Amino acid sequence: MVICGTCAVEYDEPTPEVCPICADERQWVPADGQHWTSLAELAAAGQHLTWTETEPGLVSVTTDPSVGIGQTAQLVTTPQGSLLWDPTGYLDEATVTRVRERGPVLAVAASHPHMFGVQVEWARALDAPVLVNEADAQWLGRTDERIEFWSGRHAITHALALHQVGGHFAGSAVALWSDGADGRGVLLTGDSVFPNPDRTSIGFLRSYPNKIPLSGAVVERVTSTLEALTFDRLIGNFDNRIDTDARAVLRRSADRHIAWVRGDHDHLT
């Protein structure tokens, strides 16, 4: 198994000449070409993971220094078991032990292919299935018996479920944790719905590094789908957050995005 140095997604050997995920218009290949690494190489270089409990039942796990895109994984723990969401591109025994100490892991899942990380390695270490949206199966770099496909909605526990929203990728998904935020609901998102640095608005892009927006029609569809869910807090794939009133922020941001791409605004007039 090797890991793309740019996006940190795992691949079976023999590896492709170029990582297909990075060659796509939503990502990028370095100017000096493809780079590959491995868990052993990262460990030898002193790679490690950070662990931060952000609220009861929720832990943020991040690579330090950053590996690949550098997403923050979210570990959601319920009375029935845990979900590891948007797994990082590196893992170590110490963190695996801490995860397992919180009880059984019910699933490893990613919001979209950029966040696959070393999901199979995580699943093997945690004795859990990998949940992959069927619409994004073509982007898998590894095959494994632990991979299970889903579409539409997939319940993990009565208070924790995956929802397919599309947008950034056809299979882009969110995880709704109904018991989070003191019962007000936490929505874990990826790049289809991205909390901005101002913490009061949300972005909607097909590509973040290459600045390709989603269309107004797609943003409206994604937003309408999410408005059917109950949540107050929204957490992105870099632990970027809208801490409260996130459903209202979502609608306000969607309306703003749709107006701009429709051409309602022009600073020259």
pLDDT digits (tens, 9 = 90+) for 189-198: 999 999 999 9
Residue 193 tokens, joined: 């719905």
Partners of 64 in the beta sheet? Answer: 48
Q: Given a cut of 60, is residue 269 above it in pLDDT?
A: no
Residue 84's nearest CA partner among 69, 99, 95 is: 99
The mean pLDDT of 219-235, rounded to a whole number, is 98
| Beta strands at 194-195 and 153-157: parallel, antiparallel or unpaired | unpaired
Q: What is the pLDDT of residues 64-107, one digit of tens each?
A: 999 999 999 999 999 999 999 999 999 999 999 999 999 999 99
The mean pLDDT of 13-19, rounded to a whole number, is 94
Q: Given a cut of 90, is residue 167 above it in pLDDT?
A: yes
The mean pLDDT of 144-173, rounded to a whole number, is 98
